[in-house]
Chains A and B, each alone.
Chain A
Amino acid sequence: MTPLLRSVRMRLTLWHAAVLTVIVCAFSAGIFFFVRVRLFDDLDAHLGRDLATIEATYREAPTELSEAESRAGIKLFEVTERNGVLYRTEEWAQRGLDRSVRSDSATTSSWRSPDGQTYRVLVAPYPTHRISLAADETALHRTLWTLGVILALGIPCAMALAIAGGWFLAGRVLAPVGAMAERARRITADSLGERLPIENPDDEFGGLATVFNETLARLQDSFERLRRFTADASHELRTPLTAMRSVGEVALHDSLDPAAYRDVIGSMLEEVERLTALVESLLTLTRVDSRRTQLAREVVDLGTIAANATEHLRVLADEKEQTLRVEADDAVSVECDPALLRQGVVNLVDNAIKYTQRNGNIRVAVRMLRSGEAAIEVKDDGPGIARIHHERIFERFYRVDSGRSRSDGGLGLGLAIARSTVEANGGRIEVESEEGRGSVFRILLPSRS
């Protein structure tokens, strides 16, 4: 395609003109043939009336036929009887029309004389005689020719007008697209707050702009979250780095005995472990979210996964003298990546153990819901979570109590990882909790049925 044809405006215009041309051509052809038929009908009717006059004259007084020529002005006819021509007008003879009559049956037809003239010839046989008469078609053909010329000149003019009009209209209709493109071109990662103008939200372009704006809003939101995440991650990395640095600098400054040095190095190595764990968690999260790891798809019993994950952490609950029970309905099977899902469940149970007081109760229940979803619930009677935190609790690095973060609050990634693993398996995760009344974390997965 040439560049010009690639523009929607041009294509719209050409389509418009082409369709209009076809319509005008068809319409013109219709008119032409209609007029032609009508003109011939008129001529034939005229010939019929003349025939009646001649016939009446023949019946009353065959010798008076010249009267029909002179008084009625019928210039082209002849009347023949069995034994020869009874009457023939002068012009009939002059124009050689006797050669136009080639049969004795009743016909009305066009005849072209040797000198190029066309005549409408009517032949009417009667038992005793035959009347033939003719009319010159020249005037009729001239009329048709004029009509043809008018139409032939009119169609290109109409086409030119259609193209011009189409170009103008298409330009007007497409103007908002140009404006939108112009605005969209200026939007970058730094100006995601800008929106496209919407002239009329109900028309197609308004709809397009609305959808585009919604996409922009989502993009802006994820950019915002990414920015916050990067800032949070940097902060989390900075904390152990600071600890390592100050511990190292102080130790270097003083002369210590070997045991004290060992202690300093051990302390630094602890921070290294923390950094390693943080980086590993972030990598896990990134991989699960970007679906870089191929998900295994296996049909597994949810009860087995829950029991397995719980047993894994039982020593932690034992240590805090908490009761940790698993209650599973029989045969709740889902299709998922078992290792990934297990990690999510482990994180939820670990959280419950961590935040529930000594001697508390934790219950892991696996049930088939009436909605047809399979659910794993991790319920504790710990301190609960205030409602304002519910929405953000699954975000990375979000901590309910920012003060207790480092010593026993972990990395702040456990619930984020749990959510990612569940969502990667096509499920969702929710929290139900009130302050002082414990919490329920629920994993919901589409069941296999």
Chain B
Amino acid sequence: MRILVVEDEPKVANALSGGLTAERYDVRVASTGEEAFFLVNEDSFDLVLLDLMLPRRDGLEILAALRKRGVHTPVLILTAKDTVEDRVQGLDSGADDYLVKPFAFPELLARVRALLRRGRTEQPLKLRHDDLEMDLVTRKVARGAQVLELTGKEYEILEYLMRHQGRVVSREMLAHDVWQVSARATPLDNVIDVTIARLRRKVDDTSAKKLIRTIRGVGFVLGGEMR
């Protein structure tokens, strides 16, 4: 999978490039709009990460020009502007998704995967990790022989973690996808932490092997080893 990162700030570009390469993506970096335009025309990419505030040519301009030329590569916009109007303008110009800076890297990865997966979604009936099993039809959750009684939010969080198993899930992702809150109000972080703590008690307290781990300062992960 080839990804083009259009970002003029070298530190951010390096971090993005490094992080995505570690996830085994093939990454090219363009630091100006012209360069990005040239590379997209020259080469084929599966995804473009586009910063909006670029020197000389604005990111939205590049995007509109690409779409006008019939380039349908998915585009994920990265920007510090986050008003509703900005979002609408971005999506109107032909972007497929919109991520506000500063973003959590796990969230970026999740969005990237979602965009690349687009069009070929599989709907499993059951999710499984180690001896933890979740039946998406009956909403029954069991660890080994032990059936777990979960509240609605606990169930949704666990489902989210299992769907992203082995990968870090940030608080922003949970706020956005489980609580459906786009602007993060501060109290929500506490709610997330408490709900996770309760979920963990139910899932992990009776077993020696702990499945849900907290990655300090980043988020939570179900299973998987840290790289």
- By a beta-carbon cutoff of 8 Å, the part of chain A in contact with chain B is 262-263, 265-270, 272-273, 276-277, 280-281, 283-284, 287, 292-294, 312-313, 315-316, 319, 343, 346-347, 350, 410-411, 413-414, 417
Contact = CB atoms under 8 A, between A and B. Distances in A.
A246 to B, nearest CB: 16
Contacts of A266: 215-218
A292 B83 CA distance: 9
Contact of A313 (B82, B171, B191): B191
Contacts of B215: 266
A273 B217 contact: yes
A284 B194 CA distance: 24
Contacts of B189: 273, 277
Contacts of A346: 185, 187
Contacts of B184: 277, 280
Contact of A281 (B186, B190, B191, B194): B186
Contacts of A417: 185
B79 to A, nearest CB: 14
B28 to A, nearest CB: 27
A350 B187 contact: yes
B216 A315 contact: no
B12 interface: no
A258 B84 CA distance: 42
B217 A284 contact: no
B102 interface: yes
Nearest to B192: A315
Nearest to B214: A266
Contact of A270 (B153, B186, B191, B217): B217
Given A267-B216, A411-B186, 19 more contacts: A262-B226, A265-B217, A267-B217, A269-B217, A277-B184, A277-B186, A280-B183, A284-B185, A292-B83, A313-B187, A315-B194, A315-B195, A316-B187, A316-B194, A347-B185, A350-B187, A410-B186, A414-B186, A417-B185
A284 B183 contact: yes
A343 B185 contact: yes
Interface in B166-197: 171, 179, 183-187, 189-191, 194-195
With most chain A CB atoms within 10 A of its CB, the pick from B83, B195, B216 is B216
A350 to B, nearest CB: 4
A294 B187 CA distance: 24
Contacts of B217: 265-270, 272-273
Those 3 A-B pairs whose CB atoms lie nearest each other, nearest first: A269-B217, A266-B216, A350-B187
A347 B194 contact: no
Nearest to B190: A316
B225 to A, nearest CB: 13
Contact of B216 (A269, A281, A414): A269
Nearest to B102: A276
Given A312-B191, A411-B186, A269 B218 contact: yes
Contact of B191 (A269, A280, A316, A410): A316
Nearest to B226: A262
Nearest to B101: A276
B198 interface: yes
A347 to B, nearest CB: 7
Contacts of A293: 83-84
B50 to A, nearest CB: 22
Interface in B62-92: 82-84
B160 to A, nearest CB: 17
With most chain B CB atoms within 10 A of its CB, the pick from A265, A283, A346 is A346
Contacts of A272: 102, 217
Contacts of A281: 186
A212 to B, nearest CB: 36
Nearest to B84: A293
A280 B101 CA distance: 11
Nearest to A312: B191
A284 B226 CA distance: 35
Nearest to B103: A276
B216 A263 contact: yes
Contacts of B194: 315-316, 319
Contacts of B198: 315
Nearest to A413: B186
Interface string B213-227: 001111000000010
A162 to B, nearest CB: 61
A260 to B, nearest CB: 12
Contacts of A262: 216, 226
Contacts of B190: 316, 350
Contacts of A410: 186
Contacts of B153: 315
Interface in B94-151: 102
Nearest to A263: B216
Nearest to B151: A315
A21 to B, nearest CB: 61
B216 A270 contact: yes
B216 A347 contact: no
